[in-house]
Amino acid sequence: MSNANPLLDVSGLTKHFPIKGGFPIRRTVGAVQAVDGLDFSVAEGESLGLVGESGCGKSTTGRLITRLLEPTGGKISYRGKDITHAGRKQLAPIRSEIQMIFQDPYASLNPRQTVGKIISGPMEINGIEPTGGREKRVRELLEIVGLNPEHYNRFPHEFSGGQRQRIGVARALALEPKLIVADEPVSALDVSIQAQVVNLLQQVQKDLGIAFVFIAHDLAIVRHFSQRVAVMYLGKIVEIADRDDLYGNPRHPYTRALLSAVPEATADDVPARERILLKGDVPSPINPPSGCRFRTRCWKATDKCASEAPPLVQVEGNKPGHLTACHYPETDGTVPAPRLSKDPQAAA
Amino acid sequence: MFRFLIRRVLGALVILLIISAVTFFLFYAIPRDPARMACGKVCPDDLLAQVRANLGIADPMPVQYWHWLEGIFVGRDYTGVGHCNAPCLGYSFANNQPVFETLKGDIPTTISLAIGAAFFFLIIGIGTGMVAAVKQGTFLDKAASSFSLIGSSMQIYFVGYIAMFLLVSQLHLLDQPSYTPFTDSPVAWASGLLLPWLVLSIIFTANYTRMTRSQLVEQLSEDYVRTARAKGLSRRSVFFRFAWRGAMGPIVTIFGIDMGTLIGGAIITESTFSIQGLGLRAVRAVTDSDLPMLLGLTMIAAAGIVFANIIVDAVYALIDPRIRLA
Amino acid sequence: MTSTDQQAFLSVRDLKVHFSTEDGIVKAVDGLTFDLEKGKTLGIVGESGSGKSVTNLTILGLHDRHRTAIDGEILLDGKELITARESELEKLRGNKMAMIFQDALASLSPYHTIGKQIGETYRKHTGASKQEARARAIEMLKRVGIPQPDMRVDDYPHQFSGGMRQRAMIAMALVCDPELLIADEPTTALDVTVQAQIMDLLKDLQQEFGTAIVFITHDLGVIADIADDVLVMYGGRCVERGTKQEVLRTPRHPYTLGLMNSMPTLDGPVDVPLSPIPGSPPSLLNPPSGCRFHPRCSFAEKVAGGLCSTEQPALEVVGGRGSACHLTPEQRQEFFADFAVSRHN
């Protein structure tokens, strides 16, 4: 919930990647509007889920928060301090407090370093010498993430995918961070392993009071992990709310469609929810639709949606903290949206 | 595609301009007086000053460079020495001839050497690589890999002399290397250059065997090759229409680099076989301290390499639509 | 899965696929049996290394023949495929049996247009002319819902979006109206809304043409959506099979149960930890003795005499329903009792 003193506060966050082109001299001819004006905050110890489909800008957002990317516009504050364009030196003390966990446990660990070296790396870089020495700390960390401390001298290839992701978690924990940005931390893992890592992250979050920005496309996992969830579409947040409000009372048509598309492992012949089949593809972020970006695939869209971008506000019927960017929000009693034609003609 | 080519050519011209400027200033910063060479062995001071003025050597360096550039497009008069027609790359006082007039005769020789060698090493290298890829892990594959390793560790001045000694002097199988223009007699052209071609192929083939093999092995394990097989296409058509297509790009790239190596390596090749081309000319220009000639040679070699790369890029774009349509 | 004596359309009997690698023999599939009727969908569930993808490459004969030893029977419409000559298989592939893959971008040739790739299959099997093949490709693109098919037919795969590429791949697989379609994780790389579109498309096409579909996935939700029968694979073996209702409502194998319990849902409890399966999937190079799941199984110690680690449980199938587990039905009833409660509260 919008805390008076949030750990992380983001307003109007924007990232446009320039596109080069033109003739005969190449110049910037346009921009991929990857992230376009995000407002959200994360309280201390809170977990915010960021969901959306590929290309919605959720990973870019993660990289902006950790300042792996330079924002084009907007403001990022960490503990009230503006870090939007902070340089290397200014970021140094904050870098240790904001850590990242990556998707690919195979690519994100240096294969030529031992586990001990990988996990103690952040301490070395930041010149931190914990009491009892770095090795002792690494062994503690291995224990925390459920690995054998004796494996200190092993190399990443000696571990399975799930174990490697645990190493990634241990590395992120090494500096006792206050905020971890986890970008699809389980999607590369086998189903039976995913739950192990989700449980580990959840335990870490609760025991150590670390705030999370949990980026994932799997709505069920995000629901399980996050207290608050933001749904992104084409670089914008279309809805943000407490978990139960978002999943129980989705007000944005896109949230509703997204939830309805998740296949459920039940054997009932009639599915619990009417499935809304969206037509066509997500439009290009180079040239997003005017007004509401979802309107080209929305069954409720009118002229107003094309001319006027809906603000992200607490629409009527929302609980406090539940914000929706839609001119015609769904209501709980809404007749399930019409089953749309399978013909994706519209989005050529 | 057209835009792509235009852009690359413009870029290439800029690169050549930079190379010429750097080379020009480097060479002319050397304290050696071209006027003294032009003037002859016995040269009184007043005559020397006269020559210097005629040659424009008295001008400041940027002005000299500007005149040099101008000469390429409109030609240039060297008062008291002679006229140099466009494209004028300078005047060689050691040779008493415009640089380009001298080099004009050498270019076909060097190009013939490079193209002929390329013909052999491409056919042999790619062919062997294909066999090795198809017969992966067999004796043939291992033999091809071993031979290519041995070949690539050879040097021209080593293999070249041994080959000349054995094949020409002892066994009389091949002619003494020589250059006859193709237009005069294609047979004499080929038989005169056959030995250098073969020797160059031994050294260059290996790269192509290795490259072709590894590329094909990689391509054959690509998902789209599996899809093509799942469609019912035969092994043969999958090999040539899918895998080979994908393998070609990197091979073309290597070829572009090797064309540069061949032109740059002409010095050693031509010295070894005593064939008069750009390479041997460069050797003489160095011994004579013939700076205008060296500058001209540098420019011609640079132009050759830069434009070979443009052709490679264009061919790459033709092969791969992802580059063409990006 | 029928239990009649009549030959099913696709019948796999005791299939074993072993490859030799530098480290030893990998038993990728170790005794697999199933039947599939026309117009039906068999869902094969399994994780990495379960042998599910190998099984299907073997049906098409696309495995590496030099390194692979195959035993058993694969009968397609009564024709034995394992012993079939390459030229015979080439006539069947893309024609009578077709396959769609997970990664459509990697699985389509970057060097040829979509239309050419679709038309090529058609020409190969029907001998049609270039013009006819092109017309057919446009028709297929239209059928799978690609807008402006007459324009897009000349595009290259990289010019398509992810969902459209998967549609194009389906068009390519279906161009000769195959009777058997093998779909290997066709929606795994796609977003949920696109996944929903693709599954709908597959169901429609199946209804129209009566295609038999083998649908491989690790996602039980997808299985619930599309399959008629389900086969759960673990470590190269089938551990459980039955109709979708049977397997999802009353799983009999601890692995199936573990998979279902480890998946979070959109309406389950959130403040309790998930119940993961401990450990990792087995190495097929050196699989565990006895039941391959026993090192990860929470019930193994309840079986008398340590049977799970010494003896491989047999897959007993009655009426198409079966599981390979040493637990007695009574034990199962007792231990699995919580399941229904935890799923549907």
**What residue segments make up the domains of chain C, in order of their start?**
1-96+178-345, 109-177
Tell whether C163 is within 8 A of chain A (Cβ).
Answer: yes
Close Cβ partners of B165 (under 8 Å, ≥ 6 residues apart): none
Interface test with chain A among C185, C280, C286, C345, by most A beta carbons within 10 Å: C280
Domain tally, chain B:
2
DSSP letter assigned to residue B167: I
> pLDDT tens digits for C284-331?
888 899 999 999 998 888 888 888 999 999 998 888 899 999 998 888
Regarding whether B172 and B107 lie in a shared domain, the answer is yes
| Secondary structure in 3-state letters for chain A | CCCCCCCEEEEEEEEEEEEEECCCCCEEEEEEEEEEEEEEEECCCCEEEEECCCCCCHHHHHHHHCCCCCCCEEEEEECCEECCCCCHHHHHHHHCCEEEECCCCCCCCCCCCCHHHHHHHHHHHCCCCCCCCHHHHHHHHHHHCCCCHHHHHCCHHHCCHHHHHHHHHHHHHCCCCCEEEEECCCCCCCHHHHHHHHHHHHHHHHHHCCEEEEEECCHHHHHHHCCEEEEEECCEEEEEEEHHHHHHCCCCHHHHHHHHHCCCCCCCCCCCCCCCCCCCCCCCCCCCCCCCCCHHHCCCCCHHHHHCCCCCECCCCCCCCCEECCCCCCCCCCCCCCCCCCCHHHCC
Contact flag B325-C98 (C-beta cutoff 8 Å): no
Contact flag C109-B234 (C-beta cutoff 8 Å): no
Which ipTM value was assigned to this complex?
Answer: 0.86
Rounded to whole angstroms, the Cα distance separating A182 from A50 reads 10
| Strand-pair category, C237-243 with C229-234 | antiparallel
DSSP letter assigned to residue B176: P
Architecture of domain A8-97+177-264+272-346: 3-Layer(aba) Sandwich (3.40)
Residue among A202, A217, A223 minimizing CB distance to C273: A202
> Higher pLDDT residue, B81 or C334?
C334
Supply the range of the domain harboring residue B83.
32-88
Q: Which of B89, B112, B93 minimizes the C-alpha distance to B101?
A: B89
Quick check: is B125 in a domain? yes
Lowest-confidence range among A68-77, B38-47, B230-239, C154-163? Answer: B38-47
Contact flag B320-C107 (C-beta cutoff 8 Å): no
Rounded to whole angstroms, the Cα distance separating B264 from B272 reads 14
Residue C11, pLDDT > 50, answer: yes
Regarding whether B296 and B151 lie in a shared domain, the answer is yes
Regarding whether B83 and B161 lie in a shared domain, the answer is no
Residue among A217, A224, A278 minimizing CB distance to C270: A224
Q: Say if CB A193 and CB A161 are below 8 A apart.
A: yes
Position A189 scores a pLDDT of: 85
Regarding whether B118 and B84 lie in a shared domain, the answer is no
Regarding whether B114 and B51 lie in a shared domain, the answer is no
User: Touching A: which chains, 3+ CB pairs < 8 A?
Assistant: B, C
Quick check: is B113 in a domain? yes
Quick check: is B316 in a domain? yes
Rounded to whole angstroms, the Cα distance separating A251 from A246 reads 8
Contact flag A265-C220 (C-beta cutoff 8 Å): yes
Interface test with chain B among C53, C93, C111, by most B beta carbons within 10 Å: C111
Put simply, the chain A residues between 72 and 131 with a CB less than 8 A from any chain C CB are: none
Contact flag C93-B229 (C-beta cutoff 8 Å): yes
> pLDDT tens digits for A231-273?
999 999 999 999 999 999 999 999 999 999 888 877 765 555 6
Quick check: is B199 in a domain? yes
Residue A345, pLDDT > 80, answer: no
Q: Which residue's entry shows tokens 């061919």?
A: B315
Position A272 scores a pLDDT of: 56
> pLDDT tens digits for C21-79?
888 888 899 989 999 999 999 999 988 878 888 898 899 998 877 788 999 999 999 99
Put simply, the chain C residues between 241 and 300 with a CB less than 8 A from any chain A CB are: 244-245, 247-249, 258-260, 262-267, 270, 273-278, 280-281, 296
Q: Which residue of B has its CA nearest to A25?
A: B7
Size of interface B-C (CB pairs under 8 A): 72
User: Touching C: which chains, 3+ CB pairs < 8 A?
Assistant: A, B
User: Which residues are registered as beta bridge partners of C15?
Assistant: C32
Give me B186's structure tokens. 């294609």
Tell whether A266 is within 8 A of chain C (Cβ).
Answer: yes
Interface test with chain C among A191, A199, A249, by most C beta carbons within 10 Å: A191
Q: Say if CB C264 and CB A224 are below 8 A apart.
A: yes
Query: Nearest-CA distance from B212 to chain C in Å?
Result: 18
Task: Write out chain C residues lying below 8 Å of A193, CB-based.
Answer: 276-277, 280
Quick check: is B1 in a domain? no
Residue A328, pLDDT > 90, answer: yes
Close Cβ partners of C301 (under 8 Å, ≥ 6 residues apart): none
> pLDDT tens digits for C165-219?
999 999 999 999 999 999 999 988 888 888 888 899 899 989 988 999 999 998 9
Regarding whether B106 and B77 lie in a shared domain, the answer is no
Residue A335, pLDDT > 50, answer: no
The B-side interface with C (CB below 8 A) comprises 137, 222-224, 226-235, 242, 245-246, 319-322, 325
> pLDDT tens digits for A113-126?
999 999 998 888 88
Residue A310, pLDDT > 90, answer: yes
> pLDDT tens digits for A174-186?
988 999 999 999 9
Query: Nearest-CA distance from C201 to chain A in Å?
Result: 8
Rounded to whole angstroms, the Cα distance separating C25 from C276 reads 30
Query: Nearest-CA distance from A155 to chain B in Å?
Result: 27
Torsion angle of C-alpha atoms A172, A175, A180, A185, degrees rounded to 10? 10
Q: Which of A45, A90, A15, A80 minimizes the C-alpha distance to A180?
A: A45
Containing C230, the helix (H) or strand (E) segment is: strand C229-234
User: Which residues are registered as beta bridge partners of A51?
Assistant: A216, A231
Position C332 scores a pLDDT of: 86
> pLDDT tens digits for C233-280?
999 999 999 999 999 988 999 999 999 888 888 888 888 888 889 888
Contact flag B224-C106 (C-beta cutoff 8 Å): yes
Regarding whether B248 and B119 lie in a shared domain, the answer is yes
Regarding whether B147 and B77 lie in a shared domain, the answer is no
Give C1-96+178-345's CATH code, choosing from 3.40.309.10, 3.50.50.60, 3.30.70.3420, 3.40.50.300: 3.40.50.300
Rounded to whole angstroms, the Cα distance separating C108 from C120 reads 13
Lowest-confidence range among A30-39, A219-228, B42-51, B66-75? Answer: B42-51
Query: Nearest-CA distance from C120 to chain B in Å?
Result: 9
**pLDDT tens series, chain B, 326 aa:** 777 788 888 989 999 999 999 988 887 776 666 667 666 667 777 777 777 776 667 778 888 888 888 888 888 887 766 788 878 888 887 777 888 888 988 999 999 999 999 999 999 999 999 999 988 888 888 888 888 888 888 888 888 888 888 888 888 888 888 888 888 888 999 888 999 998 888 888 888 998 999 999 999 989 999 999 999 999 889 999 899 988 998 899 888 888 888 888 888 889 888 889 999 999 988 888 788 888 899 999 999 889 888 888 888 888 888 877 76
Query: Nearest-CA distance from B85 to chain A in Å?
Result: 32
Q: How confident is the model at residue A344 (pLDDT cuts 50, 70, 90)?
A: very low
Q: Which of A41, A36, A31 minimizes the C-alpha distance to A14?
A: A36
**B260: Cα within 13 Å, side-chain hemisphere:** 16
Regarding whether B242 and B107 lie in a shared domain, the answer is yes
Residue C131, pLDDT > 60, answer: yes
Tell whether A23 is within 8 A of chain B (Cβ).
Answer: yes
Residue among C199, C219, C262 minimizing CB distance to A195: C262
Q: How confident is the model at residue A1 (pLDDT cuts 50, 70, 90)?
A: very low
Q: Output the average pLDDT for chain A.
A: 87
Q: Output the average pLDDT for chain C.
A: 89
This prediction's pTM: 0.83
